[in-house]
Amino acid sequence: MNQTDPVVYIAGLGVISAIGNNVNECLHSLEHLEPGMRDISMLDTIHRGQLPVAEVKLSNKELADLGSVSDLFPRTALLSHVAAKEALADAGIAPGPALRCGFISANTTGGMDLSENFFSDFRQDPASGHLR
């Protein structure tokens, strides 16, 4: 590494997934071989009852409450916020307006809870469709 190269630190971990709502729950599920695939219960879709999915079993309201934010945000943003909040706490970093840091986030099927409803309207009229 060159002395002028920036230094990168991995300071904290945060996760929310079908196998747990935080790092400890996910580790427990992995260690005990507990699967996250289950029947659809949270997403409004025509596929409910037809196939299993790996969905977080919390409502948007519950996710918003965990993240202390509005439930008007898209589900993928709520999931990211919950994980980011855990990562900051894990790193011992108090969030605030003066916080200057980089953030690397990985999401899976962001927006899938909205896409199916959007697509129905869009198929009827390509000028229509609103994701909120």
**Domain ranges (residues) in the chain:** 23-124
Question: Of 76, 47, 82, which is closest to residue 64 (Cα–Cα)?
Answer: 82
- Measured between alpha carbons, how far is 65 from 70 in angstroms, rounded to an integer? 8
DSSP code, position 20: B
Predicted confidence at residue 2, as pLDDT, reads 67
Burial class, 75, CB count within 10 angstroms (exposed 0-12 / middle 13-18 / buried 19+): buried
Ordered DSSP codes for 26-57: HHHHHHTT----EE--SS--TTTTTSEE---S
For the entire predicted model, the pTM comes to 0.70
Low-confidence residues in the chain, pLDDT < 50: 132
pLDDT in tens, 8-44: 676 889 999 999 999 999 999 999 999 888 888 888 8
